[in-house]
A and B are shown apart, each in its own frame.
Chain A
């Protein structure tokens, strides 16, 4: 019998990725869709590389939007930026503890907090677990953001708010997801590699990783 090997495939998507953003996008095929829901319930962090530009403010926080205001930015230094990022990290860490639904008065809450394992296991607003400045070359800068339950527009809004906090303004030029839970850029397939053989190899490589992660979290 001859014909194409697969005629119909059920494909499900993992965490959403914007039109203007890029990076790792997890898809599940066939029986893998059930694994997708399990991975979503693990609530693992995603890592983004966010590029920004000081001096402009637009209505949709990205550089392709309608200009709202232009400001000076020569007073911005790396020290000030790092201070703001430390505060953002601090308040988000507090939100992480508060939304995690664990009673803070118990001994096990203390133990988990010491090990850093407290995280919200249900619905919660977007939380940033870690944020760091990779480079600052005025007017451009690049941040690495580890977050939970976020949308790319929220990350653009964070860039805008950093600009406001520094008494200037900023827009987001690039959002790139470099890690989604356990899948990193190395596992991702480029557009030129979208053929059956590569997809099958990728699935085989990731099977073990997914199994160990699911067992670890859903114990």
Chain B
């Protein structure tokens, strides 16, 4: 017995760690599996996180990531274009975003002191006065990071910002109880205040407040050099540049005070207004669409032959009840109640390279947005327009873009134009998107 058991070490020298290796029996494997620790990565009541993704032309700082313009290490090159969605870290949940011509505004509906952040071009103080850290009397011309915009609110801890909108060189901020704040270039009265001759707009502290409307303003929209306000009663006010009739007030002059629009929308309850270039569209509660402004690209050619329309005209389309409209620079898009998308105008409209211009709305087949026999209930939920590209959000949270890919603004990763709707791969469910001239911002909810 002593010889046979000589392999065993005496208890004092036994480390007790080494086990004989070899194929383990099924029972041993099962026991090891049951004894293994269980990791919990997320609990049962985990909330989905809200994120912001940006893409497009980044060298103006409009994307809000400073390392794209001024890299952290000396050997790195600045990134001019971000062709795919890139995550932007924000302190608060962003509820509304708007892209202007080289700048972006982000707003959150919080009751904290900082409610609006801006980044990008600031040569006309469209982001307010951003005090430079090197010289306290000067302001920044380009803002590379989302910087808070100080709004002169009377009750900053009770007012909430509902929406922001950006035009070529001016921006509008809509609050729930203190009216509309406007800042930026006012050479055509687009900020709603009197035009001062030879006013220097850069490094200006002026933020104007607009309160005199017939009821509470619920939507603000910026065109290229004009502003539109929609009130709760369904009336539309406009101010700014009017040479193309985009103010819709019956004349082609500049307006510096918001004035009510008449024409075909007098007395009609308007539920949505849209504009980005020089053409404007309004959707009424009954589902009719009205248009005014520039019509050089056949946007309003179904009612008139003239190239400028300065009074809102009803567009008699027989495509069903319209839910939402979006205006681009040369093309327009509407979404009907059934979830179909109709486009008309000029440019890359989304029906292949052969369709360059049309005055009558053409439907984009729903199979391009993912509807098939396998998924019959995929519908487009929202439509948005940039200057020469279009975006559509489906009810599944997917983002489709098409149009001219100016400096990577489509976000698909390829620099070529897309002639029909193409998916953008975003790691999350897209809730809202804002289109600009050459960049886009999207508000996304994570999956789990």
Task: Give A contacts to B, CB under 8 Å.
Answer: 55, 67, 69-72, 74-75, 80, 83-84, 86-87, 89-91, 93-94, 97, 104-107, 109-111, 113-116, 130, 132, 165-168
Contact = CB atoms under 8 A, between A and B. Distances in A.
Interface of B: 32-33, 36-46, 351-354, 365, 367-368, 370, 372, 374-375, 396-398, 416-420, 422-423, 425, 429, 447-448
Given A90-B370, A104-B418, A110-B419, A83 B38 contact: no
Contact of B370 (A71, A83, A93, A105): A93
A87 B446 CA distance: 12
B154 to A, nearest CB: 43
Contacts of A109: 352, 420
A83 B423 contact: no
Contacts of A71: 38-41
Contacts of A89: 370, 375
A105 B46 contact: no
B353 A114 contact: no
A72 B398 contact: no
Given A80-B447, A93-B423, A132-B374, A105 B416 contact: yes
A72 B38 contact: yes
Contacts of A67: 32-33, 36
B41 to A, nearest CB: 4
Given A67-B33, A90-B398, A107 B352 contact: yes
A86 B398 contact: yes
Nearest to B41: A167
B423 A75 contact: no
A162 B351 CA distance: 34
B71 to A, nearest CB: 30
A70 B36 contact: yes
Given A70-B36, A107-B353, A84 B365 contact: no
A83 B429 contact: yes
B447 A72 contact: no
Given A94-B423, A166-B448, A105 B41 contact: no
Contacts of B40: 71-72
Task: Tell me the dominant secondary structure on chain B's binding face.
Answer: loop
Given A104-B418, A115-B367, A165 B447 contact: yes
A165 B33 CA distance: 23
B342 to A, nearest CB: 15
Contacts of A72: 38-41
B370 A69 contact: no
B389 to A, nearest CB: 15
B448 to A, nearest CB: 5
A83 B447 contact: yes
A71 B38 CA distance: 5
Contact of B352 (A90, A91, A110): A110
Q: 8 closest Cβ contacts across the A-B interface?
A: A110-B352, A167-B42, A167-B41, A72-B40, A107-B352, A70-B38, A114-B365, A130-B374
B244 to A, nearest CB: 32
A88 B42 CA distance: 22
Contacts of B396: 83, 86
A127 to B, nearest CB: 14
- Residue from A75, A84, A90, A107 whose CB has the most chain B CB atoms within 10 Å: A90
- Residue from B33, B36, B42 whose CB has the most chain A CB atoms within 10 Å: B42
B418 A107 contact: no
B447 A113 contact: no
A108 to B, nearest CB: 9
Contacts of B44: 74-75
- Residue from A104, A106, A166 whose CB has the most chain B CB atoms within 10 Å: A104
16 contacts: A72-B40, A75-B448, A83-B396, A83-B397, A83-B447, A87-B398, A90-B425, A97-B422, A104-B420, A105-B353, A105-B419, A107-B354, A109-B420, A110-B351, A165-B447, A167-B46
Contacts of A84: 447
Given A67-B32, A80-B447, A83-B429, 17 more contacts: A75-B42, A86-B397, A87-B398, A90-B398, A90-B423, A104-B420, A105-B416, A106-B352, A107-B353, A109-B420, A110-B351, A110-B420, A111-B352, A113-B368, A130-B372, A132-B374, A167-B42
A44 B32 CA distance: 44
